[in-house]
Amino acid sequence: MKQYTVAVLGATGAVGQEMIKILQERNFPVGRLVPLASARSAGKTIPFRGGEVAVAEACDAAFEGVDIVLGAAENDIAERFAPAIVKAGAVFVDNSSAFRLNPDVPLIVPEVNPEDVKKHRGILSNPNCSTIIAVTAVNALNSIAPIRTMTVSTYQAVSGAGVAGPRELTEQVEALRNGETVVPKVFSYQIAYNLIPQIGGEQFEGYTSEEMKMQNEGRKIMHLPELKVSCTCVRVPVVRSHSISVSCHFDVPVTAEQARQAIAGAPGCRLVDDLKNKRYPMPLETSDQDIVFVGRIRPDLTDDNGICLWCCGDQVRKGAATNAVQIAELLVKEGGRTMSEDIPCCDEGFIFSKKPNEEEKVESSAQRVISLLKTVSELYPEEEVCYLISKAARLGGYPKLDTRYCTDDAVAEGLRKMIARKEIRSR
């Protein structure tokens, strides 16, 4: 079997360490491991397959010769290094939220939409941890009848906030036991013996950024563009494994027995649903493993077309690290191909059959810009032209890959820069 050079960006953090552990557990074909972190962590060693591998400082040159990069860093780090990763010819499987809603970046849960991996252009996104657990649990129901709406409440463990989360919970419990004052650092309030009904900042109509992820990411993963989700995210004093209450609503009735049968055979799920014998998913049983446990399946008494359920999953593993490694496994399964062979990457430049008419006015409508570019060349399908516009928007002053809110002026300015740099060039 072909061996791959795999880099882990953010290798010393909780998710990065878990990724390295899971690469070993799943016997991923790693020929060479490249752990990357900040300059502060450079020189440390990480155990891997019976030996020790030195951590290197993350920099553009570190990705040369790498096949796959597993990202376990924050948004700013992911955005900082994504261009260098793609330019080096590697595929970036990113755990941050930086690219999740970018229409050019597939958002993957392997049990749900593995086919979307083939659409990558050098970057693949790992969804939010709660989203992964929830869609893994409900996707089988979506195969019975399309899900119209979902009402969701998440009960998220402190380790979802990183290694400092469990430490703060433990320290607070100890301090309170000794009659000492608790000073919150990681969380906004005392987390010991408490619940905090906010994760993330306010984003839309009183919903937090974490809550909106369930709808926005769920739509993309399950290919349900009209899906509506009302979500409440709560931080709870549990060390590991998120728990989620879900009510799914359909256009037709779905019985509890239909739901049980579908979930019992669903990939990545384990049915644990025996109320009489007190058997249901709990965080203690779902920690440090990769299956989403699903139970408490029952009809929604407020909607004849609704089903309620409860699910639990390890958010560090299946909700982050394992899901990323599974995505990498899909890449390997695609015949060992990493970079998409038929779609140019963002820094590769685009070749047109003739020079663009620079005297032609760029219309104010982004759709007319697409039309203009399509008249320049018929060699590329519309989605590739859209990708060119995505790059032009960034060069024109819109810094993110998500161009839904960019201005047409930014696109036009970016196009001018690309022409000047000969990144759009004639054959």
Q: Annotated catalytic sites, by residue?
A: 129, 242
Helix (H) or strand (E) holding 69: strand 68-71
> Which residue shows structure tokens 């930014």?
410
The helix (H) or strand (E) run that includes residue 93 is strand 91-94
Residues 304/5, Cβ–Cβ less than 8 Å? no
322-333 and 14-25 helices, crossing angle to 10°: 50
Enclosing H/E stretch for 61: none
User: Which uninterrupted H or E stretch holds 139?
Assistant: helix 129-144
**What residues contact residue 403 under an 8 Å CB cut-off, 6+ apart?**
389, 390, 393, 394
Alpha helices per DSSP H over 279-407: 283-286, 322-333, 366-376, 382-395
427/130 Cα distance (integer angstroms): 47
Sign of the Cα torsion 334, 337, 342, 347 reads: positive
Q: Are strands 147-156 and 242-250 parallel, antiparallel or unpaired?
A: antiparallel
Determine the Cα–Cα distance for residues 178 and 197; give it in Å rounded to an integer: 27
Q: Please, which residues bridge with residue 71 across strands? A: 9, 94
Q: How far apart are CA 327 and CA 124, in angstroms?
A: 8
Q: Which residues does residue 142 pair with via DSSP β-bridges, in sequence order?
A: none
Q: State residue 397 phi and psi, 5-degree precision.
A: 115, 0
- For residue 308, the tally of other CB atoms under 10 A from its CB is 19
Q: Report d(CA 302, CA 119) in Å as an integer.
A: 40
* Helices and strands per DSSP (H, E), number in the chain: 11, 18
214-245 per-residue burial string, b: 16 or more CB within 10 A, e: under 16: bbbbbbbbbebeebebebbbebbbbebbbbbb
